[in-house]
Amino acid sequence: MKQEKSSTGQHQKFMDAARELGCDEDEAAFEDKLRRIAKVKPKPEADTKAEDDEAPE
């Protein structure tokens, strides 16, 4: 029981610190920022075609 209480206290301290730093709890804002920094580059056509040729029949 003591662990749950202390972890809840630690969790609350973390949440308070995040709010002080201006972190946003909005899920849509998170998704928008994630899209900005995590862009997946498409594979070049040459690599895709080479993989298709190597597929077992």
SS3 48: helix
Q: Measured between alpha carbons, how far is 57 from 54 in angstroms, rounded to an integer?
A: 9
Residue 51: is its pLDDT beyond 60? Answer: no
Q: Measured between alpha carbons, how far is 16 from 21 in angstroms, rounded to an integer?
A: 9
Predicted confidence at residue 40, as pLDDT, reads 75
Highest mean predicted confidence (pLDDT) among 1-10, 24-33, 48-57: 24-33
pTM of the shown model: 0.38
Residue 48: is its pLDDT beyond 80? Answer: no
> Residue range 1-11: average pLDDT?
67
> Residue range 24-44: average pLDDT?
84
